[in-house]
Amino acid sequence: MKEYKNRNLITIFTKGDIFSKISYIVCGASNMRHGQIIKGLLFLCLEISYIFFMITKGAGMLQALTTLGDNLQGMQFNEEIGIYEMHAGDNSMLILLYGVVALVISLSFIAVWYFSIVSGEAARKRAAEGKKNRGFIEDVKSLANENVRYLLLAIPVIGLLVFTVMPLIYMILMAFTNYDQEHQPPGNLFDWVGIKNFITLLSTGDRLSSTFWPVFGWTLIWCIFATFTCYFGGIILAMIINSKGIRFKKVWRTIFIFTMAIPSFISLRVVATMLGEKGIFNVLLQKWGFTQTALPFLSNANWARVSVILVNVWIGVPVTMLMVSGILMNIPGELYESAKIDGAGPITIFRKITFPYMWFVTTPYLISNLISNFNNFNTIYFLTGGEPHTLDYYKGAGQTDLLVTWLYKLTKDSNDYNLAATIGIIIFVISAIFTLVTFDGSGSLKNEEGFQ
């Protein structure tokens, strides 16, 4: 029999032998036929347990997803004893969660099913070519060699599935429900509402959208300022420390690295207490005669926004400095020598040599920094907690809140999970578009094997 190319689900079915076709229904049939008994049995066991799961629980779980529960918790008259009884209603949240679990299990099974068919077909092909198929023990041994990926990636993949992918699907689905304060299980049910949340959040007029847009605007301003102040500050600092004639370079670097080494929750909390109305900054400024009354570092919206950016400089500049130091040393010295001979001043040298080189090397870093600042939870949350509050905003949101900190507050304080999920999806879309646009032009992802 002539072997075919392009092995896929359709060709295997049409071009394979009868056992290949049986494998579509009875997983592992082809493996068992061609000498891989244990492997085939394993596939079969997985299939049987999946079917068992679906019959006993899974189907019900998936089916309940469509309604998210109908029975409200409440009192019901029990005719036998003649009194009203508390009767537990459906818990929409658990229904949604179980539904997602069943969904993920089903998807995993489809992956196993596909894998078993391909594996069975490979076994058939080897048998047809007259080669001996690997036994189970040899298969296990191959885990240390050409199949090492199954061994090394198994735990990470399972971990990601259970604690990242599954929760993520759950939260994405939640964005399309009305799971807010007024629909809290178990006392209440929530239901699918389509894209209503997106519309209320994005369209103008509503109180929510008049909170969303200002918060979004500030997030963008923050993201740009926070990234570029730290970036240029770090470059300048690194250039000063690395310039000729500065002695004790290591000592200087260590002084600045202190802020980087101290966990940010500590340094930010400390600075937050220092910036308070009775904090040491205000005390000293008054004592030194710069001001008579306390300055509203964190209590006035505009002051707070500037303070947050400045404190971020304090935290972030050393990070860039440390990173850039290595790159600066890689710039060929001859470039500087010849520039000096040609009479270029320090500013021209920076503009024409240092900066273009730096820009070229650090673009990926800059991009990822922009995204991480867009989602910079720590700085804002530990420093201001999003405050100062304003009556113009939907409750909880403050004037230094970023989208992420607002999201966190919506989950933790006001239990508006649907809104939080909606904001999460919006953040994702923005980051994804930004990443796609920028990384498309950057070579660092494409030249993966450039160094090998």
Residue with Cβ nearer another protein (109 or 406):
406
Q: Is position 97 an interface residue for another protein (rule: CB under 8 A)?
A: yes
* Whole-number Å distance between alpha carbons of 60 and 54: 8
Question: Sign of dihedral through CA atoms 432, 436, 438, 444?
Answer: positive
Select from 6, 56, 292, 302 the one that contacts another protein (CB under 8 A).
Answer: 292
Segment near another protein (CB under 8 A), from 44-52, 198-206, 220-228, 443-451? 443-451
Check: CB of residue 111 under 8 Å from CB of residue 50: no
Residue with Cβ nearer another protein (35 or 364):
364
Q: Is position 176 an interface residue for another protein (rule: CB under 8 A)?
A: no
Orientation of helix 417-441 relative to helix 355-374, angle to 10°: 160
Segment near another protein (CB under 8 A), from 14-22, 130-138, 224-232, 258-266? 258-266
Residue with Cβ nearer another protein (22 or 361):
361
Residue among 219, 259, 7 at smallest CA distance from 119: 7
Residue with Cβ nearer another protein (6 or 447):
447
Torsion angles phi and psi, residue 297, rounded to 5: -50, -45
Q: Is position 241 an interface residue for another protein (rule: CB under 8 A)?
A: yes
For residue 412 the two structure tokens come to 């933790």
User: DSSP for 169-216?
Assistant: HHHHHHTTB--SGGG-TTTS---B-TTHHHHHHHSSSSTTHHHHHHHH
Q: Is position 408 an interface residue for another protein (rule: CB under 8 A)?
A: yes
Angle at 180 between CA 177 and CA 181, to 5 degrees: 160
Q: Is position 37 an interface residue for another protein (rule: CB under 8 A)?
A: no
Tell me how far, at minimum, the Cβ of 287 lies from another protein, in Å: 7
Angle at 46 between CA 41 and CA 52, to 5 degrees: 120
Buried residues in 210-227 as b, exposed as e (16+ CB within 10 A): ebbebbbebbeebbebbb
Orientation of helix 37-53 relative to helix 92-128, angle to 10°: 160
Select from 8, 114, 128, 159 the one that contacts another protein (CB under 8 A).
Answer: 159
Question: What is each CA distance from 69 to 34, 63, 193, 351, in whole angstroms?
Answer: 48, 10, 14, 64
Q: Is position 295 an interface residue for another protein (rule: CB under 8 A)?
A: no
Q: Is position 452 an interface residue for another protein (rule: CB under 8 A)?
A: yes
Residue with Cβ nearer another protein (229 or 375):
375
Q: Is position 355 an interface residue for another protein (rule: CB under 8 A)?
A: no
Q: Is position 93 an interface residue for another protein (rule: CB under 8 A)?
A: yes
Q: Is position 240 an interface residue for another protein (rule: CB under 8 A)?
A: yes
- Contacts to another protein from residues 366-385, by CB under 8 A: 371, 375, 377-378, 381-382
Q: Is position 165 an interface residue for another protein (rule: CB under 8 A)?
A: yes
* Whole-number Å distance between alpha carbons of 334 and 228: 29
Segment near another protein (CB under 8 A), from 63-71, 148-156, 185-193, 337-345? 148-156
Mark residues 188-227: x for contact with another protein by CB under 8 A, - for none. Answer: ----------------------------------------
Angle at 289 between CA 286 and CA 295, to 5 degrees: 40
Check: CB of residue 230 under 8 Å from CB of residue 451: no
Residue with Cβ nearer another protein (285 or 301):
285
- Contacts to another protein from residues 319-338, by CB under 8 A: 322-323, 325-327
**Strand pairing category for 74-78 and 83-87:** antiparallel
Select from 195, 266, 306, 437 the one that contacts another protein (CB under 8 A).
Answer: 266
Residue with Cβ nearer another protein (43 or 256):
256
Tell me how far, at minimum, the Cβ of 249 lies from another protein, in Å: 10
Select from 48, 160, 220, 437 the one that contacts another protein (CB under 8 A).
Answer: 160
Q: Is position 152 an interface residue for another protein (rule: CB under 8 A)?
A: yes
Tell me how far, at minimum, the Cβ of 37 lies from another protein, in Å: 25
Residue with Cβ nearer another protein (209 or 431):
431
Three-class secondary structure of residue 395 per DSSP: coil
Select from 258, 345, 355, 356 the one that contacts another protein (CB under 8 A).
Answer: 258
Check: CB of residue 178 under 8 Å from CB of residue 191: yes
Residue with Cβ nearer another protein (28 or 424):
424
